[in-house]
Structure 1
Amino acid sequence: MTIDKFQHPININLPQSTESVPNKNSLNSYLPIRTKGNDFDWNAVIGLVLRGLMRKKIEKYTYEQFTNDCKLAFEAKLGEEEFWDVLQEMYFDNKDIFSVSPELLLFRAQKGEFSAGDARVASMFTSLLQSSPPKKFDAKLNFIEKEMLDTLRNKMSDDSSLKTTEKPYLPFLSDAFREDLKFLSNRPKYLLNEIQSFLSFYGFTYTAQLSLALPDWRTGKAPSEKPLYFIMDHERASNERIHVKNHGYRLFSESTARLFPMMTMLELLQPEHGIKEAKKVPLWEIAKNIEESNREDLSQRLENFARAFRSQRQLNTSFDEANSALDWLNNIVKLAIAQFSVGERFNINKRYMLEVEKTLASHFIQSRGRSGRVLVLNQDYIILLTNLVVGENEKLRFHELVSGFRQRGIFVDKQTEQELIKFYERIGNVERMSDSGDAVYVRKTI
């Protein structure tokens, strides 16, 4: 067995002394949220995501220059200055041209148009996208809009700067994200209408599913979707609905407590700096590679790190019995959680949890009086998800649709299933062959 085959576990960063263990917890991958400074602009995030999707950019070319170039092009072809005045009012004065094609949104991804926070949030989506082929948009445009878009395309250049620096932690969700974005990309106008809701949904479901998947690292297997229950936003949430009560908001909130502790520890276990093109890897992949490696010193190195970390953080946490490298990795994870259970670090983690909820989850949480908080989907999100799951199919059986929801991290109980069918009947995109779910078909709304 060669060293190269198991480069990641062999090259994980394991300081050998207390002095070399960092005394601060940093988070630079897999999640864009920090303990503060999480404000971001959706317009900039969308522009950056589309830039990564298209692998195109427009730099050193301002919106004003573009407007003037369009003016010159139309004056040369039409020869009527008054006609340009009409076009300028229709498309340019209020930037309504941004609704013509996703390519126009590259103006929002220019240097100086986005902040570090915008870039962090966009990186979460480019990481989900991974290395998908560049996408071209084929919008159905009139002659005038085609001329404007051709003017812009002449100023575009190839861009490979927005590369993903990490392997997907949730491959199942990354696959769904790419498939859904492909569906939207084939319908540019629909994409422009729904891109913010689409990214908002995936930002939340990715964070929720990541928090649920973290404890399963020891399996060494890529996570699958974990149950997390939602209701429609008009439904009642009684305490008798056990899944909604115990496996909805409460489960999400409890799970987010492990995000910052475990993800900051994961930063310390990443491949050593200087390894060419090394991508950051999930904890479950580190465990897999350690299990498959024949390096005899891994257990000792992990033990040394665990003891150095415990000493540096001044923790009195006892170690579980350890007979293998994975046992010592388990002790390291235990320390990661323990350091945030007391003192100021406990407050830091609380602030992080609040930032996650405020920044990525607020559209999916409602307070329901005595029933407490619940996870909800409003009708707009339900229609969007329905269209994405049905995809290129003409229609799907209802139980297949529910299965597609689960693949995207959305679980519903039987009561909500009946409410969904009623909702689809109201908007007219359902065919009911009988009262059973197997005989109910759901169509797209577009």
Structure 2
Amino acid sequence: MNEQVKALCTTLHFETKFKATHDFAGYILPFFTRKPERVKFTNGFTPMVGVIARAVNGKNVDLNQSALTAKSTLIDTDVDQQVVDQLFSPDIYREMPSSKLLQYLPLSESKERTGEIRLGEFLIELLRLKENQTFVASFSGTQPANLYERVVFEGLKATESAKQQAPRHFEFYNQGYYEDLFRQDVQRLIQDKGYFYDHIAELLKFYYFTYVTQTIARVSDSKARQTITPLYFALENESISRSRQAVKTGYSMVYQHGQDLLTDVDVLNYLNALIPDTKHFYWKNQILSPDFAYSHALYANLAEFLPIFSQQLDAAVTAGIDFEFPDLSAAVKCLWTLLAKRSDGSRETSSRYAKSFEEIAQQGFVRQHGRLGRTFSLNKHTVLMLTTAIVGQDKMPLNAVFKALQERGVYFDRMTRDQVIALYEQANILEKLSDSGDAQYVRGIL
């Protein structure tokens, strides 16, 4: 038995009983097949900001910080206890303009904290946040500027408790593309630190959302595609019809891809385990490229593995499947079919895995339109935040702003563009020299 085939059989426990193991070649998405650990954003996106703030400061990410109380501050005072408690309550001290406090944003108390940690670590790796010096500096701990801050910082430090987490290995599609865009956005937003701290959670949430949607839309692609798949958005409260791009090429397309997402992820993990190259992770379009260096080796490994795999499956799964395949593409399709047919018997597991996409989409990125179904949607606040990240303190031609939004995965059709232009006019950030998009400029609001 070939070395790679033997290793994959061991990973899947063929020697005892086949176990549907996922993500063994690398986490493609920070999703779970179980509900308790799945991030449901019960406490918004702030737990992930806390994970990131701790990680870039060299602290353990799993920090469960108990509430700060008057006792922990060790203040000797005759002031009424309730007044002191209120003065040092989380609602008050978290309003302090201090990057250090971001390190103490708590995780959820439920098992959801497991997903929050994984998602925070996922964003750290995706956007290479530890290598982004501007970002790291903005999250670094600060010295107290007054007695109140000193009391809060010392009190919070006294309540810290943490445990070490095992490192995880993630695999990304076009990682450098998202890293570069995020780096540019941070450099512009940090020009106004108040605005940056008020909106950094929203910006991180958007990048997670756009990466997830783009990855799901292309994870099963067998051919190379453009860097960004056009996905169309409408504005909140915008009336739309069935002919609109947001209905035809948006949420519904990603949702349909998501129904087989776990199968597509498993296929990639299986294929990479069978490729005799442990230094790189290959995506489907790379594997099926005519010039793929390991085509013959992978074909041979699949020809050996698939008959062995079929012996672990029910007869109903393998019925009608031909294990004599003419080329690598047919062999990959055979693997996908086996995994998909097996998944039909445990559809609940697949649906729970894809549910993570719906959870992030529901955080301000999707809207129900009656019988038309759901569409991707952005509220006015998010549009202005993204525009601010793109323009900064300068001004930019209107057409260039729309192009920059597309680079970040946000496409508008003509009618929604008109709505966005009206929003810019309402916000008084549009300079209109003529009706031409090249002669209209969007000003920064920082």
Q: Please classify the TM superposition score into its range, dividing by the shorter chain length.
A: 0.7 to 0.9
- Write the distance in 2 (CA, Å) between the matches of 1:12 and 1:217: 26
Residue matched to 1:78: none
**Does the alignment pair 1:170 with 2:174?**
yes
Matches of residues 313-328 of structure 1 in structure 2 within 5 Å?
313=313, 314-316=317-319, 318=321, 322-325=325-328, 327-328=330-331
Residue matched to 1:4: none
* Candidates 92, 104, 120, aligned match of 1:122: 120
Can you list the C-alpha shifts for 1:38-77, whole angstroms capped at 9, x where unaligned? 24544322200222344345999966789889778xx9xx
Q: Flag the 1:208–1:71 CA change in 2: closer, same or farther, 3 A.
A: same
Can you list the C-alpha shifts for 1:171-229, whole angstroms capped at 9, x where unaligned? 2234323443454456443233223322332232222111111122554x8x6110111
**Does the alignment pair 1:212 with 2:217?**
yes
- Write the distance in 1 (CA, Å) between the matches of 2:107 and 2:382: 30
1:169–1:282 CA contact under 8 A, matched in 2: no
Q: Flag the 1:108–1:60 CA change in 2: closer, same or farther, 3 A.
A: closer
- Write the distance in 2 (CA, Å) between the matches of 1:279 and 1:154: 40
Q: Which runs of 5+ in 2 are unaligned?
A: none
Say which SS state the counterpart of residue 441 (structure 1) adopts: strand
Residue matched to 1:107: 104
Counterpart AA for 1:385: L
- Write the distance in 2 (CA, Å) between the matches of 1:12 and 1:128: 31
Matches of residues 18-417 of structure 1 in structure 2 within 5 Å?
19=14, 22-27=18-23, 29-35=27-33, 36-37=35-36, 38=38, 39-40=40-41, 41-42=43-44, 43-56=46-59, 92-100=88-96, 101-108=98-105, 115-130=113-128, 132-133=130-131, 135-137=136-138, 143=146, 165-171=169-175, 172-184=177-189, 187-219=192-224, 224-241=227-244, 243-270=245-272, 281-284=281-284, 287=287, 291-293=291-293, 297-313=297-313, 314-316=317-319, 318=321, 322-325=325-328, 327-340=330-343, 342=344, 344-391=345-392, 394-417=394-417
Counterpart AA for 1:309: F
- Write the distance in 1 (CA, Å) between the matches of 2:83 and 2:184: 36
Q: TM-score, normalised by structure 1?
A: 0.76
- Write the distance in 1 (CA, Å) between the matches of 2:100 and 2:281: 32
Q: Flag the 1:189–1:430 CA change in 2: closer, same or farther, 3 A.
A: same
Q: Which runs of 5+ in 1 are unaligned?
A: 1-8, 76-80
Counterpart AA for 1:93: S
1:47–1:108 CA contact under 8 A, matched in 2: yes
Deviates more, 1:89-98 or 1:134-143: 134-143
- Write the distance in 2 (CA, Å) between the matches of 1:417 and 1:288: 38
Q: Percent identity?
A: 20
- Write the distance in 1 (CA, Å) between the matches of 2:92 and 2:104: 13
Q: TM-score, normalised by structure 2?
A: 0.76
Greater percentage in helix: 1
Q: Flag the 1:147–1:27 CA change in 2: closer, same or farther, 3 A.
A: same
Deviates more, 1:115-124 or 1:13-22: 13-22
Across the two proteins, how many residue pairs are aligned to each other?
Answer: 421
Matches of residues 433-444 of structure 1 in structure 2 within 5 Å?
433-444=433-444
2:5–2:304 CA contact under 8 A, matched in 1: no
1:395–1:443 CA contact under 8 A, matched in 2: yes
How much does 1:323 deviate?
4.7
- Write the distance in 2 (CA, Å) between the matches of 1:12 and 1:188: 54
Residue matched to 1:6: none
Can you list the C-alpha shifts for 1:242-292, whole angstroms capped at 9, x where unaligned? x222102221211212321111333334559xx9xx788352487289954
Counterpart AA for 1:116: T
- Write the distance in 2 (CA, Å) between the matches of 1:70 and 1:291: 65
* Candidates 9, 13, 32, aligned match of 1:15: 9
Say which SS state the counterpart of residue 412 (structure 2) adopts: coil
